[in-house]
């Protein structure tokens, strides 16, 4: 790895200081309207490929022949201009707006740049400034509310938390529904190897979360299969193209510096009651030396009233000798949970140096992000070293490379889910009389009594179920390290003004190591535990492409043809030690006598060879026809049937030009339509077609055992396919001040790979088959408006809106009734793909009800329906975002609101919080009791049917809540997951340039920034409705023990040298 980095840096500086041409022409490109310099203007010597771009101040410098020639100045939205050089060495040019153009350059599939005007499908672009405004270090989270049809979920506020992104809903049942990420033309791995779930675990950063936003120039989102068809077997879920910054366009040498400090606090905590303490039956409490008295064996808060002068022997009265001191006041600690959390601090510093001489360019950047978490003793650190360079070797021949080295480290990642070493899980059970702060100095506390689950560890308020949370955070650690290199080398040749070709080799290589330590005495791991695993991943892609772009009269033809060879390898080595001999020693040699380690070794290899082509035909620059096709040969499939072809076709008409209806009120109107067919692996892995034996993770003595899996593999399986149509329009109004883009899509994903039941006589329980079918339909709207735009003041608005209909048509299960596939679940609630329902229904036990929907009670207790049913689904009806941008001179204010409407979430925080009596709503009926709303049976009619009357039986609040909320019934904890958030606010001040005339600084900006600032609307109590176990498809719409999402506020400063 070090040699690769050293080579990258050497190449960078070799390219940077290449020899310059003898004769140069320089000048400044300015706006004809206000005289300001225009950056990014293309300056090309006519009839050649020699060219450059103007820098941030509009300056340019270009090598030209001694005899001169003609310079062509062009920029999107400006009228092109040609100027004879003659004998001049300085040529200044003023450029005027071209209102009829009004289109931007957008990066599309395979990195092909096209004018927005010529696009025949939906693509949405986000510039780098939009990703870094609020100093979000995860670029995936930065897309929230900014792109129509994009759903982003961040699992928690833990340092290094992963994020999940889905475009236009789910299209597969067995595989991932996340899009393919491509960085500078190189596909990268976006897997999340966290283990969070019902039984606990931890979250790990997903692949795309490792990218540094400060290095990103832009992101293009190819939302549907029409736009992503050229990615074939990997493009069914859409593609997110990431283009990183280069030194091009920045004449000379420049240095930029950015530094930010962010402070993080929980966005939302549970609303607790503070009137009743630990215990049961509203009566008494005692800590009986760890012998399961109400102070130790009951971790609920149905005890005696607080703050009324009572005294009890509590955990804090326990002594080292096993006795207790005098009773302590029975008082509440309203902020005990809030005070457990610390203020997280995130420091991010970036330095970048870039340079260009017109022909050659380079950029080198280093970024360090260091974060301490809100949960004590949690952390995350990341280094990003990014380098890129381009060198014009000969006339028409250019070499370029980019390398992004990423190093991530965490001493301890927070545990999440329902596990005893997750402190957040303990908070839901903590008695309202417990002073958690008194547990912090655990080294000076007595040890938990012998005979308890936590015996020998520092005292906790409860020793039967949990350990001291501060001790647990210090000794039970989830370590994480990852080294990654993403890079590519490209050689491009321009044969003439219409024919070019390139070859590119790209790599994504990472090594990841994570460990799990549980100290001896940990509740649920009394003998301790240790695991260590190393994962390695390498993907190499070779691309080659030849492109012809030529005009024949009124017709234009742009044709590209090429290929892609992909090689991928993944290995995993895991060792788990279930019990330790000596405390504090964490390695395999410390295996306790009589215990057996768990060993897992995995090797997976696959290849995809592809031929692909695309052609765009245009007529008079107002009719555009795109045709593309890709054929994949995939090694996972049988040789005789491993070839699949994925075509697409799309068409657009620029009506304002075609019908000659251009006006200032309507300068631009385009309609488009497209059809495509793309593939998906659907979770199909290498070697999943043959029936292979697997080695058991634990041997029999010294003998390794192999077994035949219970699932029958299918040698005739084939890739899933998604066929879609897309219809849209794009319009601009009032000289481009208002823009509108609207898209309707209809996609069908079929031949979905699902696990179906088979007859037990076959010797197997299930088999894989291509039988699933999912439909996606929706509308996407993007609206932009420049309300005011003057020299000193401007106001703008951007709106994104998308609707979703994501339905499971068939899974062909052999149950005989309504087919369903279990995607995942927790306790007794499954997340399912169920026929006739939206993708991702929550299926589990609800309340027993009469024909009118009233809950049936017996002896005052709500009853559980023995027949499980659909309780909700995770699909939103619509999502949207509104961004408001204001500027007055050097001061700018931007804000972003986003919303998700519809969909449901099952939250165990409500279930166990009500069962334990700690939540505010459990105060109801504490003294007078509760009469449950519903009915009870008074008898039967002559046909034996029950007769119901209103329920009138009074039961205690404890009795009612334990009957209505437990792991036996889920309906009461399923809520509408709709929300509206103030996602981010940035107040930026660009300091006056005259302040820095005598110092090397320029373009100095100071900003106050905030992210995830406020939950403005939600029907989900106690938690952020975006929370969830993890970002795996199998864990959506389910929550418990999740670290609260973080509200981030801080400041940022950036400047140039």
Task: Tell me what the mean pLDDT of segment 528-540 comes to.
Answer: 95
156 lies in the same domain as 57: no
Task: Tell me what the mean pLDDT of segment 698-719 comes to.
Answer: 76
58 lies in the same domain as 199: no
**Residue 125 pLDDT greater than 50, yes or no:** yes
Task: Tell me what the mean pLDDT of segment 237-242 comes to.
Answer: 91
Which CATH number fits the domain that encloses residue 587?
A: 2.40.170.20
Q: What is the DSSP-derived secondary structure letter of residue 542?
A: E
Q: What whole-number distance in Å separates Cα of residue 314 and Cα of residue 653?
A: 78
Q: Is residue 769 part of a domain?
A: yes
Q: Is residue 403 part of a domain?
A: yes
Write down the pLDDT at residue 195. Answer: 66
Write down the pLDDT at residue 293. Answer: 55
* Among candidate residues 97, 115, 141, the one where a domain is terminated: 97
Q: What whole-number distance in Å separates Cα of residue 55 and Cα of residue 133?
A: 22
Structure confidence by residue, pLDDT tens digits, 818-858: 688 888 888 789 999 999 999 999 999 999 999 999 999 99
Structure confidence by residue, pLDDT tens digits, 1-48: 444 444 444 344 433 433 334 588 999 998 876 677 887 788 988 888
Name the pairing type of β-strands 180-183 and 239-244: parallel
Query: Of 276, 270, 271, which Cα lies nearest the Cα of 431?
Result: 276
- Report the half-sphere exposure of 83 (CA within 13 A, side-chain side): 21
Q: What whole-number distance in Å separates Cα of residue 213 and Cα of residue 260?
A: 13
Write down the pLDDT at residue 4. Answer: 43
Query: Of 975, 982, 965, 959, which Cα lies nearest the Cα of 1039?
Result: 975
| Cα 368 to Cα 213, 259, 349, 478, 754, distances in angstroms | 12, 10, 5, 22, 43
In terms of average pLDDT, the best of 140-144, 368-372, 999-1003 is 368-372
Pair of tokens at residue 827: 């306790």
Please give the full DSSP string across 457-511, using - where no structure is assigned. Answer: SB--S-TTT---HHHHHHHS-EEEEEEEEEEEEEEEEE-SSSEEEEEEEEEEEEE
518 lies in the same domain as 566: yes
Q: How far is CA 674 from the centre of its chain?
A: 28
Q: What whole-number distance in Å separates Cα of residue 955 and Cα of residue 356?
A: 79
Q: What are phi and psi of 305, to 5 degrees?
A: -60, 145
Count of domains in the chain?
2
Structure confidence by residue, pLDDT tens digits, 601-642: 999 999 999 999 999 999 999 999 999 999 999 998 888 888
Task: Tell me what the mean pLDDT of segment 469-485 comes to.
Answer: 94
- Residue pair 537/508 in contact (Cβ under 8 Å)? The answer is yes
CB-based contacts of 639, cutoff 8 Å, min separation 6? none
Query: Of 801, 908, 773, 211, which Cα lies nearest the Cα of 510?
Result: 211
Q: Is residue 1023 part of a domain?
A: yes
Residue 584 DSSP SS3:
coil
90 lies in the same domain as 181: no
The mean pLDDT of the chain is 88
Task: Name which of 485-499, 640-654, 678-692, 826-840 the model is least confident about.
Answer: 678-692
Q: What whole-number distance in Å separates Cα of residue 277 and Cα of residue 127?
A: 53
Q: What are phi and psi of 832, to 5 degrees?
A: -130, 155
Q: Is residue 924 part of a domain?
A: no
575 lies in the same domain as 660: yes
**Residue 692 pLDDT greater than 80, yes or no:** no
Burial label, 921 (beta-carbon count in 10 A; 0-12, 13-18, 19+): middle
Task: Name which of 32-36, 203-207, 925-929, 951-955 the model is least confident about.
Answer: 32-36
Write down the pLDDT at residue 11. Answer: 41
CB-based contacts of 681, cutoff 8 Å, min separation 6? 175, 233, 234, 634, 636, 719, 720
First to last CA, the chain: 31
Query: Of 540, 212, 546, which Cα lies nearest the Cα of 348?
Result: 212
626 lies in the same domain as 709: yes
Q: What whole-number distance in Å separates Cα of residue 533 and Cα of residue 202?
A: 14
Structure confidence by residue, pLDDT tens digits, 408-420: 999 999 888 777 7
Give the Cβ contact number of residue 323 at 10 Å.
Answer: 9
Name the pairing type of β-strands 1038-1039 and 93-95: unpaired
788 lies in the same domain as 728: yes
134 lies in the same domain as 74: no
Q: Is residue 424 part of a domain?
A: no
Task: Write out the H or E segment, with its range, that includes residue 601.
Answer: strand 598-619
740 lies in the same domain as 657: yes
| Cα 874 to Cα 78, 388, 877, 878, 1034, distances in angstroms | 46, 42, 10, 12, 11
Task: Tell me what the mean pLDDT of segment 88-113 comes to.
Answer: 74
Which CATH number fits the domain that encloses residue 21?
A: 2.60.40.1120
Q: Is residue 949 part of a domain?
A: no
Structure confidence by residue, pLDDT tens digits, 45-99: 888 878 888 877 788 988 888 888 899 998 866 788 999 998 899 999 988 766 5
Residue 855 forms beta bridges with which residues? 849
**Residue 110 pLDDT greater than 80, yes or no:** no
Range of the domain at 34: 2-97
Q: What whole-number distance in Å separates Cα of residue 1040 and Cα of residue 909?
A: 5
Pair of tokens at residue 31: 């706006």
Pair of tokens at residue 352: 């970048």
Write down the pLDDT at residue 198. Answer: 57
Structure confidence by residue, pLDDT tens digits, 376-392: 999 999 999 999 999 99
Please give the full DSSP string across 770-815, using - where no structure is assigned. Answer: EEEEEEEEEEEEEEEEEEEE-SSEEEEEEEEEEE-EEEEEE---TT
Question: To 10 degrees, what angle do helices 957-964 and 908-915 make?
Answer: 150
Please say whether the dihedral angle defined by the alpha carbons of residues 204, 207, 209 and 214, taken in this order, is positive or negative.
Answer: positive
**Residue 447 pLDDT greater than 70, yes or no:** yes
Write down the pLDDT at residue 153. Answer: 83
Q: What is the DSSP-derived secondary structure letter of residue 592?
A: P
Q: Is residue 494 part of a domain?
A: yes
- Residue pair 524/419 in contact (Cβ under 8 Å)? The answer is yes
Please say whether the dihedral angle defined by the alpha carbons of residues 184, 188, 190 and 193, taken in this order, is positive or negative.
Answer: negative
Biggest distance spanned by C-alpha atoms of the chain: 111
175 lies in the same domain as 244: yes
Q: Is residue 440 part of a domain?
A: no
30 lies in the same domain as 142: no
**Residue 581 pLDDT greater than 60, yes or no:** yes
Pair of tokens at residue 30: 């300015």
Edge-to-edge strands of the sheet including 946-950?
Answer: 861-862, 856-858, 935-940, 946-950
Share of the chain above pLDDT 70, in %: 93
365 lies in the same domain as 476: yes
Q: What whole-number distance in Å separates Cα of residue 730 and Cα of residue 34?
A: 29
């Amino acid at each position: 790895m070090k040699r690769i980095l050293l080579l990258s840096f050497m190449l960078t500086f070799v390219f940077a200081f290449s020899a310059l041409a003898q004769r140069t022409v320089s000048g400044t490109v300015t706006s004809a309207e206000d005289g300001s310099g225009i950056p990014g203007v293309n300056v090309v010597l006519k009839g050649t490929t020699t060219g450059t771009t103007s820098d941030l101040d509009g300056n340019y410098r270009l090598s030209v022949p001694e005899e001169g020639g003609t310079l062509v100045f062009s920029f999107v939205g400006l009228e092109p201009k040609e100027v004879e050089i003659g004998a001049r060495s300085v040529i200044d040019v003023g450029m005027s707006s071209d209102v009829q153009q009004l289109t931007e350059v957008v990066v599309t599939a395979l990195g092909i740049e096209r004018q927005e005007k010529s696009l025949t499908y939906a693509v949405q672009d986000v510039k780098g400034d939009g990703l870094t405004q609020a100093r979000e270090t995860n670029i995936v989270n930065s897309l929230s509310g900014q792109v129509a049809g994009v759903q982003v979920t961040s699992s928690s506020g833990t340092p290094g938390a992963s994020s999940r992104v889905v475009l236009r809903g789910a299209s597969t049942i067995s595989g991932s529904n996340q899009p393919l990420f491509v960085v500078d033309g190189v596909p990268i791995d976006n897997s999340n190897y966290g283990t969070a779930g019902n039984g606990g675990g931890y979250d790990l950063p997903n692949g795309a979360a490792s990218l540094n936003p400060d290095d990103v120039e832009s992101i293009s989102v190819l939302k549907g299969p029409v736009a992503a068809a050229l990615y074939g077997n990997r493009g069914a879920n859409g593609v997110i193209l990431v283009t990183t910054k280069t030194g091009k366009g920045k004449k000379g040498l420049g240095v930029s510096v950015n530094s930010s400090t962010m402070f993080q606090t929980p966005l939302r905590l549970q609303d607790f009651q503070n009137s009743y303490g630990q215990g049961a039956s509203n009566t008494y409490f005692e800590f009986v030396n760890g012998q399961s008295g109400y102070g130790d064996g009951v971790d609920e808060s149905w005890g005696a009233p607080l703050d009324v002068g009572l005294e009890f022997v509590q955990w804090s009265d326990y002594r080292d000798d096993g006795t207790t001191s005098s009773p302590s006041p029975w008082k509440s600690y309203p902020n005990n949970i809030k005070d457990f959390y610390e203020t997280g601090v995130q420091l991010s510093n970036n330095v970048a140096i870039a340079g260009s001489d017109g022909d050659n360019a380079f950029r080198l950047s280093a970024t360090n992000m260091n974060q301490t978490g809100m949960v004590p003793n949690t952390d995350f650190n990341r280094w990003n070293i990014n380098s890129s360079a381009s060198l014009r070797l000969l006339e028409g021949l250019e070499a370029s490379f980019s390398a992004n080295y990423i190093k991530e480290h965490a001493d301890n990642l927070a545990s999440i889910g329902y596990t005893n070493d997750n402190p957040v899980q303990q908070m839901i059970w903590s008695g309202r009389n417990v002073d958690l702060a008194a547990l912090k100095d655990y080294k000076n506390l007595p040890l938990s009594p012998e005979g308890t689950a936590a015996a020998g560890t520092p005292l906790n308020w409860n020793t039967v179920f949990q350990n001291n949370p501060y001790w647990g955070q210090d000794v039970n650690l989830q370590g994480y390290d990852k080294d990654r290199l993403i890079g590519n080398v490209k050689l491009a040749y321009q044969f003439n003004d219409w024919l070019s070709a390139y070859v590119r080799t790209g790599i994504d290589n990472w090594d990841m190591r994570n460990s799990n330590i549980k100290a001896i005495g940990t509740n649920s791991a009394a003998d301790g535990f240790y695991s260590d695993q190393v994962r390695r991943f390498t993907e190499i892609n070779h691309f080659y492409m030849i492109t012809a772009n030529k005009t024949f009269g009124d017709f234009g033809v742009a044709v590209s043809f090429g290929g892609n060879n992909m090689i991928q390898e993944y290995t995993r080595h895991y060792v788990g030690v279930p019990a330790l001999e000596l405390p504090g020693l964490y390695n395999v040699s410390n295996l306790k006598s009589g215990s057996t380690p768990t060993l897992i070794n995995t090797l997976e290899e696959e290849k995809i060879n592809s031929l692909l082509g695309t052609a765009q035909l245009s007529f008079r620059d107002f009719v555009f026809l795109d045709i593309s096709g890709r054929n994949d040969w995939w090694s996972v499939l049988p040789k005789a049937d491993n070839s699949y072809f994925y075509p697409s076709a799309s068409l657009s008409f620029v009506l304002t030009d075609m019908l000659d209806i251009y006006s200032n009120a309507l300068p631009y109107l385009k309609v488009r339509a497209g059809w495509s067919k793309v593939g998906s692996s659907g979770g199909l892995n290498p070697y999943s077609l043959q029936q292979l034996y697997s080695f058991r993770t634990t041997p029999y003595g010294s003998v390794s055992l192999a077994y035949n899996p219970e699932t029958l593999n299918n040698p005739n399986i084939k890739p899933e396919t998604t066929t879609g149509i897309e219809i849209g329009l794009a319009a601009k109004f009032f000289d481009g001040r208002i823009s509108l883009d609207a898209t309707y899509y209809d996609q069908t994903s079929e031949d979905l790979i699902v696990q179906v039941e088979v007859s037990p006589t076959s010797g197997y329980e299930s088999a894989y088959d291509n039988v699933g079918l999912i439909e996606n339909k929706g509308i996407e709207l993007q609206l932009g408006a420049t309300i005011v735009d003057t020299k000193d003041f401007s106001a703008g608005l951007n709106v994104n809106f998308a609707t979703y209909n994501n339905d499971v048509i068939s899974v062909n299960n052999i149950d005989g009734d309504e087919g369903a596939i279990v995607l995942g679940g927790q306790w007794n609630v499954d997340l399912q793909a169920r026929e006739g329902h939206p993708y991702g229904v929550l299926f589990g036990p609800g309340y027993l009800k009469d024909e009118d929907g009233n809950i049936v009670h017996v002896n005052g207790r709500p009853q559980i329906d023995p027949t499980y049913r659909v309780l909700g689904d995770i699909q939103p009806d619509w999502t949207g975002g509104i961004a408001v941008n204001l500027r007055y001179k050097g001061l700018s204010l931007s804000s972003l609101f986003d919303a998700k409407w519809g969909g449901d979430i099952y939250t165990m925080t409500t279930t166990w919080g009500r069962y334990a009596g700690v939540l505010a709503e459990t105060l109801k009926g504490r003294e007078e009791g509760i009469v449950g709303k519903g009915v009870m049976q008074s008898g039967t009619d002559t046909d034996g049917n029950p007769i119901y009357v209103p329920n009138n039986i009074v039961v205690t609040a404890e009795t009612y809540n334990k009957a209505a909320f437990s792991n036996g019934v889920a309906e009461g904890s399923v809520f509408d997951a709709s929300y509206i958030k103030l996602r981010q606010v940035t107040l930026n001040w660009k300091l006056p340039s005259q302040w820095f005339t005598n110092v090397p600084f320029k373009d100095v900006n100071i900003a106050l920034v905030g992210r995830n600032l406020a939950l403005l609307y939600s029907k989900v109590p106690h938690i952020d409705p975006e929370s969830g176990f993890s970002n795996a498809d199998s864990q959506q719409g389910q929550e418990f023990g999740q670290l609260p999402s973080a509200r981030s506020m801080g400041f940022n400063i950036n400047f140039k040298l």
